[in-house]
Structure 1
Amino acid sequence: MRACALRWGRGGLSLRSGVLLLILIPPVLLALQLLVVGPRLPRGARAGAEEQGIAFSVISIEPERNSRQQESPSRRPGLKEEEEEVEVEDAERREEARAYEDENEMHSRQLNCSRVLSPGQAQASQPPADSPHWLLCAEDWLLPAADGLCVAYSFSMDGGDADFLKTVLGLGCEVHSFDPSNSNASGGHLGNSLANNHGNGGVVSQHKMWLEWRAPRKRKQKTRGNLGSVSQTLADIMAALGHHTVHFLYADLLSAEWRVFQNLIELGTLQSVHHLVATVHLQWAGFEVGGTNEEVLRYWFSVLLGFQASGLKLVHSFAGEGHSVLKQTVANVHSSYTLSWANTRR
């Protein structure tokens, strides 16, 4: 997948952007359901992504840059307008062909599990006939050892993680729930101290804290059990709690997920997560993600590339309500998806 979007002059931008958007949406949405990551992007320059070969194709992520005007391409000397139209049509056909190839590759990217954990259940069973909100792959080699530590994190502000918490508690995990709006969180104030609950079976440690994707400008030495801020990266939260691995992670980040996912990939933190249940929102680009619709779609797709590079395979997908993608109504797709992944490189 190219890192830059095709560009045209002002006169044909609206029509051709719409055509290209319709071409790009199917592979991205199918990737969300089946985690395809077929096309290869150039090797990233940043340290965390360099080893994985991921290049995040964000064109503009700063809010003040989102309103910049598209530059008109310079016409090649001696190229007639009709020939330019032919080149554009050829490029569109190549994009459509790539989308078809991507769809064919998707079916090999999903992990088939003979035994699963359904919402609210701590006993493994065969996959249910209906489609639940999420599923955890319960193959023996993917679950924590019975005599080992099991760690679970949940980031949710709407109470939608109740079944997840019930499941991981039933597995005997050390469970931490993060919600910046929760007045009953441990510590009772912003920047509360973190403490684990290992040995306190059936207890959920609640924290008034949220996931951050920006690296602090001045990184201070973090002491175990104290972060000093209501918003921290997953790596800092794990360090403060003394965890090297999160066996089960639930995240509904309300459109902040794309930038958080990028942070997890770049820092390599995602490789320390064994099971991930996350909701992705498609109504708009998301916090601190900008550019044209085509650029945003390419960015989303590059994030999915990072998931595969980190060892994650899709177990299950559940379509949410609405049919709006980037503020446009698109038939047969949904505004959000809850996706369940398992890390096959643990």
Structure 2
Amino acid sequence: MQKETEHGNRSQPQPPPAVRLFIKLLVGLKVPGARRAGSSEDGFGFTIISIPSGRGDISPDKSGRIWDAESGGPELWEEEVGPRTVPGLAGYQDENEMTTQRGGIRRQVQLQPWAARQPSFTAEVERFISFITTPQINCSRTLVPDESRDEKAAADLWALCVEGWTLPMIDLQSCVSYSFSMGQKDEAFVKRMLQAGCEVHQFDPGRKQLPSPGPVQRHHTWLDWRGPRTGQKTGLGDATPRKLSAIMDALGHSEVHFINADLESAEWRVLESWVLDGTLRRIQQLVLTVHLQWAGFEVGGNSMEVVRFWYSVIRELHSAGFRLLHSSEGPGQTVLRHSLPNTRSTYTLSWVNTRGRH
């Protein structure tokens, strides 16, 4: 693994090109929420693997511009997004601007202790990667992207635990599925949810003019981690990003059985908000793509602090009863611009809420 002292003088890190395009399109995001109770006879059958825990604390940098303890130079892990108003999201204000105006400080999850009892980028990455690539639960019956393929190959992307489910679901037993993805990267997930008999909702702000095909209900809105703006409508008729809890409430869902979320680096603040506002309790299973090339939206700190924050957020999933069912590697081999052995830039993680069946 590359030594921490070899960074040298560096220019400000930039997000990947796809994320830059996403920033130009959205910049701001908002989160949804809601659920529908499932049948009492739908139970999970699985074996849970134990994982150690730990806690700690650290003070975040308010501006996002920090002095990198490893290189001695300033790093900016938050992308400069320019104008606060974005076409298609009229009236949106960046959270940093809103926080400054209000004079408030954002609540954050409690950070885990340093992996090596002191700051170390290598130790933080090794702990984090180990956690997101080690399955924590066994399931005897899984739902994978394509049944026509070899099961192992088909499960390379994601897997859902459907032990105890009678598929396809029908009528009052119907499961509820949400998919948040841009560029139609979620078509396989949506297809499988339809085959399972779920009520399927697809969220993509880039598909504004496309009608909902048959049973798929498409929405132009997107996820955010912030509360509603003054005067914001309660429905989903525009592109205004919303919290997950607000989306679920608008759709009349007390819970969502299956969520697929590829949030283009907004996942860390969105997950954090689900921890803080209790939305995690309303989710049964979560397929989450994490992006490690850059810190993500509104995540500041040096490289060690960023990875520590990621790990602390993921650990909160475990504390809430979620267990990792499956982990698959995506493209790229850098973490915060560091080329590291045995690591990838993206991972798709399949989580099961072991407390989520009612």
TM-superposed deviation, 1:39: 3.3
Would you say 1:264 and 2:260 are equivalent positions? no
Would you say 1:340 and 2:350 are equivalent positions? yes
TM-superposed deviation, 1:305: 1.3
Where does residue 83 of structure 1 map in the other structure?
none
- Is the 2:121–2:303 contact (alpha carbons within 8 Å) kept by the matching residues of 1? no
SS in structure 2 of the partner of residue 112 of structure 1 = strand
CA distance in 2, matches of 1:340, 1:219: 36
TM-superposed deviation, 1:110: 1.0
SS in structure 2 of the partner of residue 166 of structure 1 = helix
TM-superposed deviation, 1:40: 1.8
Of 139, 142, 152, the match for 1:113: 139
CA distance in 1, matches of 2:321, 2:166: 12
TM-superposed deviation, 1:174: 0.9
TM-superposed deviation, 1:102: 9.1
Instruction: State the superposition RMSD in angstroms.
Output: 3.9
- Is the 2:167–2:196 contact (alpha carbons within 8 Å) kept by the matching residues of 1? no
Would you say 1:290 and 2:289 are equivalent positions? no
Change (3 A) 1:254 1:292: same
Q: Which amino acid aligns with 1:134?
A: W
Where does residue 313 of structure 1 map in the other structure?
323
Of 128, 149, 168, the match for 2:174: 149
Question: For each residue in 1:241-289, what CA deviation from the matched residue of structure 2 results, as whole angstroms up to 9, or x when unmatched?
Answer: 0100101100110011011110111111111111111100000110100
TM-superposed deviation, 1:312: 0.8
Where does residue 182 of structure 1 map in the other structure?
207
SS in structure 1 of the partner of residue 65 of structure 2 = coil
TM-superposed deviation, 1:115: 1.2
Where does residue 65 of structure 2 map in the other structure?
67
Of 10, 15, 18, the match for 2:5: 15
List alignment gaps of at least 5 residues for structure 2: 9-47, 70-115
Where does residue 128 of structure 1 map in the other structure?
152
CA distance in 1, matches of 2:129, 2:205: 39
CA distance in 2, matches of 1:277, 1:336: 13
Would you say 1:138 and 2:139 are equivalent positions? no
- Is the 1:35–1:314 contact (alpha carbons within 8 Å) kept by the matching residues of 2? no
Change (3 A) 1:58 1:296: farther
TM-superposed deviation, 1:304: 1.0
Of 191, 207, 226, the match for 1:214: 226
TM-superposed deviation, 1:106: 8.6
Change (3 A) 1:149 1:130: closer
TM-superposed deviation, 1:336: 0.5
TM-score (ref. length: structure 1): 0.66
Would you say 1:328 and 2:328 are equivalent positions? no
Of 153, 159, 163, the match for 2:188: 163
Identity %: 41
Structure index of larger Rg: 1
CA distance in 2, matches of 1:216, 1:165: 28
Out of 280-289 and 134-143, give the one that drifted further: 134-143
- Is the 1:271–1:310 contact (alpha carbons within 8 Å) kept by the matching residues of 2? yes
Aligned residues: 268
SS in structure 2 of the partner of residue 235 of structure 1 = helix
CA distance in 1, matches of 2:223, 2:137: 27
CA distance in 1, matches of 2:302, 2:245: 31
TM-superposed deviation, 1:218: 3.9
Higher relative contact order (CA 8 A, sep 6+): 2
CA distance in 2, matches of 1:111, 1:231: 33
- Is the 1:114–1:126 contact (alpha carbons within 8 Å) kept by the matching residues of 2? no
